[in-house]
């Protein structure tokens, strides 16, 4: 793979910089409008009915997908990486898990849940050590 030397931007007068910045700002604003339109269309997509009966191993035994919602309209799902034999979870995952429940959004629901696909036994010891208030479930 060939490497290129980084090129320095052109040095211009304040007036030239301001003109270039204003031109770029027009494009940034148009991009923002297009992104907002796209986001609106995404929110307007129809919902898909979940027909499959998912069952999870939760802290209180078997739980369905509806149980995970706990009567709320939204559910925060995060794939927490914790491998077999790991003493601790992934540092980035741990950081997010430690902080998401403190957010004003999650505080409104009073609890969040972690869902992981494997190694529930390993996660129990880690959960006790981490002492977070989140619920951990495992998809079957």
**pLDDT range class, residue 15, cuts 50, 70, 90:** very high
Residue 125 has pLDDT above 70, yes or no: no
More confident site: 81 or 52:
52
| pLDDT reported for residue 134 | 47
| Average pLDDT over the chain, rounded to an integer | 77
For 86-121, write each residue's pLDDT tens digit: 888 888 888 887 777 666 555 555 444 444 444 444
| pLDDT, tens only, 17-68 | 999 999 999 999 999 999 999 999 999 999 898 899 989 887 778 988 888 8
User: Do 63 and 139 touch, CB atoms closer than 8 A?
Assistant: no
**In sequence order, which residues have a C-beta less than 8 Å from that of residue 6 and are 6 or more positions away?**
none
Instruction: Give the closest residue to 89 by CA, choosing from 58, 118, 59.
Output: 118
Of the ranges 8-17, 75-84, 102-111, which is most confident? 8-17
Q: What is the mean pLDDT of residues 63-84?
A: 83
């Amino acid at each position: 793979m060939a490497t290129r030397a980084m090129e320095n931007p052109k040095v211009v007068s304040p007036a030239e910089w301001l003109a270039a910045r204003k031109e770029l700002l027009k494009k940034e604003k148009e991009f923002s409008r297009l992104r907002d339109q796209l986001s609106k269309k995404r929110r307007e997509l129809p919902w898909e009915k979940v027909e499959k009966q998912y069952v999870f191993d939760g802290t209180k035994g078997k739980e369905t997908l509806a149980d995970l919602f706990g009567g709320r309209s939204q559910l925060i799902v995060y794939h927490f990486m914790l491998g077999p034999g790991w003493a601790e979870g992934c540092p980035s995952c741990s950081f997010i898990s430690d902080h998401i429940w403190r957010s004003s959004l999650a505080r409104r629901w009073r609890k969040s849940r972690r869902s992981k696909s494997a190694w529930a036994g390993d996660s129990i010891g880690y959960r006790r050590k981490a002492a977070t208030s989140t619920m951990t479930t495992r998809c079957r």
